[in-house]
Chains A and B, each alone.
Chain A
Amino acid sequence: MKVTAVLLGVFGVLAALGADSAKKDAADVKVIVLRLEHLKFDAQHRKDIAALNSMLDDAVMWVDPNGALFTKAAYLTAVHDSNLQPEQIVPESLTVKVFDDIAIVVGIYDEKGLNAGHPYHQRCRFIDTWAWKKGKWVCIGATATSVIS
């Protein structure tokens, strides 16, 4: 948890120092946003509420693989209170498209763990939308759907 928080802090400072170039250069944006995606999955795995709180915009719209819509507060509460104990959340096949101040990430994540003591496995395709706001990249929209029949 501390490692993620430190990484996010360092990353935030670096992003702020190179704010203009990070914002304008699409290649840089792809690297930054991909790194943030990995940090986001790591935070979900560890149930690191502080890290998730710093990555999600206050007005984020979060849709889970069951089609339920969450606000930021509701999502963080759900992660905190969840019976799920993820053993691994592995992102795959990530692609990033940059549109000026917006980056769209599409990929798949493979999640395994225990749900109230019982093993579970879900494989989902996801789309996350990141926006450049107040000198940093934040997630403003996240949605996922199961790709296991």
Chain B
Amino acid sequence: MRTTIALLTLFCWGTLAAAAQSRTDAESKVVALEILWGEAAQFRDIKALDSIFDDHLSYVHVDGRLMTKLEVLADTRAVNAVNIVLESSVAHSHGNVVIVTGILHLKGVESGKPYLRYARYLDTWLPQGDQWVCVSSMTTPIRR
């Protein structure tokens, strides 16, 4: 009897630990993808961005424009180089979805004048096959 209870306890503990581990893994993977996204946008790596975005992506640019995946990729090709630094990323998984938020530092040149902007992003990620894809993203300028 005691052995059965001990085995059941071990089994439950193992299951819970595995669930906790997979959740942490999902959040870690998505945070890593956010960093990759920042680098891909900075270096205009369209192929990498194409693999990060779901085909049905809903994207709201920092200036408030609503864009499709194709529009985001075209915009990335067209704009001036931007230096992007991510900080304070927080991820939370809800079953098969991960929500991530963090702060972006955007540094670049616009109309010949340098700028530094701070903005908060909130992205939704879903698993697709053996990878994660972003299905929605909005970046909001931070008013301090």
A101-136 Cβ-contact flags toward B at 8 Å (1 or 0): 110101000000000000000000111010101000
- B122, A106: Cβ atoms under 8 Å? no
- A69, B58: Cβ atoms under 8 Å? no
- A127, B99: Cβ atoms under 8 Å? no
- Asked if B113 is at the interface of the complex by the 8 Å CB criterion, the answer is no
* A69-B120 contact, Cβ under 8 Å, with A127-B58, A143-B138: yes
Q: For chain A, give the interface size range.
A: 20 to 34
- Asked if B90 is at the interface of the complex by the 8 Å CB criterion, the answer is yes
- Asked if A145 is at the interface of the complex by the 8 Å CB criterion, the answer is yes
- A66, B143: Cβ atoms under 8 Å? yes
- A104, B58: Cβ atoms under 8 Å? yes
- B101, A63: Cβ atoms under 8 Å? yes
- B122, A143: Cβ atoms under 8 Å? yes
Where the two chains meet, the residues of B that have a C-beta atom closer than 8 Å to any C-beta of A are 56, 58, 60, 62, 64, 66, 90, 92, 94-97, 99, 101, 118-120, 122, 124, 126, 135-143
- Asked if A97 is at the interface of the complex by the 8 Å CB criterion, the answer is yes
Contacts of B142 in A (CB 8 A): 66-68
- Asked if A90 is at the interface of the complex by the 8 Å CB criterion, the answer is no
Q: Report Cα–Cα, A95/B118, bound state, in Å.
A: 28
Contacts of A102 in B (CB 8 A): 96-97, 124, 126, 135
Contacts of B90 in A (CB 8 A): 61, 69
Interface of A is mostly: strand
Q: Report Cα–Cα, A95/B64, bound state, in Å.
A: 16
Contacts of B141 in A (CB 8 A): 67, 145
Contacts of B97 in A (CB 8 A): 101-102, 129, 131, 140
Interface of B is mostly: strand
- Asked if A144 is at the interface of the complex by the 8 Å CB criterion, the answer is yes
- A100, B138: Cβ atoms under 8 Å? no
Q: Report Cα–Cα, A106/B136, bound state, in Å.
A: 9
Kindly provide the distance from the CB of B133 to the nearest chain A CB, expressed in whole angstroms.
10
- B140, A145: Cβ atoms under 8 Å? yes
Q: Report Cα–Cα, A141/B135, bound state, in Å.
A: 13
Contacts of A125 in B (CB 8 A): 60, 64, 66, 138
- A129, B99: Cβ atoms under 8 Å? yes
Contacts of A37 in B (CB 8 A): none
- Which of the residues B60, B95, B139 comes within 8 Å of A101, measured between beta carbons? B95
Q: Report Cα–Cα, A67/B101, bound state, in Å.
A: 11
- B94, A61: Cβ atoms under 8 Å? no
